[in-house]
Amino acid sequence: TIDVAEYACRRAIELAELAGDDVGAGWAHAWLMLLLLGGGREADAPEHGERALALLEPLGETRELAEALRLIGQFQWRVGEGVEAEASSRRAAAIADRVGAADIQAAAVQDLAVELTQTGRTREALETVEEAFRLADQAGDRMNLQRAYNNMASTLAQFGQDLPRAKRIAEEGLELARRAGGLGWQAWVEGTL
């Protein structure tokens, strides 16, 4: 549940701070921000995103900074801060690329594609979701790839006018979810189909 996850994040922050681990504390603050949003405590969340950046940015470009920026972008997108979300997602993807964090780069580019669809920039969204799909496939991370199959299929169906390709991609994603035993992923892709 969110309460258990929140407790785990707060405990991770506490332990990281005791150990003088700014990277670990910053990473946990970023995740706590998103958990608080998911738990309906949107007003309490931004301070944790700010704290994550305050801890991570002085350390330079790292995998953890890229992930924190990606999560901040998700938060901003979900609360209607589209311009800020796009900037955070683009920065996350660029840093992830430079530090070799292919999984985070793939996820950040997917976030960006979703953000672009919601701001009416469909041509750019289609190009971006194609790139996200390619990156997720290259990264080989099953979570990113499953999400990419769903996002690619739904974006193509909604904005690309290529329903046969969208259906084919969704069916491939469904097969991947079945092989992995991911019931949640199966349900998600079934909904897209």
pLDDT band with cut points at 50, 70 and 90 for residue 1: low
DSSP annotation string for the chain? -HHHHHHHHHHHHHHHHHHT-HHHHHHHHHHHHHHHHHTT-GGGSHHHHHHHHHHHGGG-S-HHHHHHHHHHHHHHHHTT-HHHHHHHHHHHHHHHHHHT-HHHHHHHHHHHHHHHHHTT-HHHHHHHHHHHHHHHHHHT-HHHHHHHHHHHHHHIIIII--HHHHHHHHHHHHHHHHHHT-HHHHHHHHHH-
C-alpha atoms less than 13 angstroms from C-alpha of 126 in its C-beta half-sphere: 11
pLDDT band with cut points at 50, 70 and 90 for residue 15: very high
- pLDDT higher than 90, residue 171: yes
Stretch 132-151: mean pLDDT: 87
82-110 in b/e form (b: 16+ CB < 10 A) is eeebbbbbbbbbebbbebebbbbbbbbbb
Stretch 38-61: mean pLDDT: 92
Q: Give 182-192 pLDDT, tens digit per residue.
A: 888 889 888 88
Rounded Cα gap, residues 185 and 25, in angstroms: 30
pLDDT band with cut points at 50, 70 and 90 for residue 5: confident
Residue from 161, 94, 162 nearest 131 by CA:
94
pLDDT band with cut points at 50, 70 and 90 for residue 55: very high
- Top-ranked range on mean pLDDT: pick from 32-36, 68-72, 82-86: 68-72
Q: Give 105-124 pLDDT, tens digit per residue.
A: 999 999 999 889 888 888 99
Q: Give 30-46 pLDDT, tens digit per residue.
A: 999 989 988 888 888 99
pTM here?
0.88
Q: Is residue 112 a contact partner of residue 86, using CB atoms and an 8 Å limit?
A: yes
- pLDDT higher than 80, residue 161: no
- pLDDT higher than 70, residue 172: yes
Rounded (5°) CA angle 142-106-26: 95
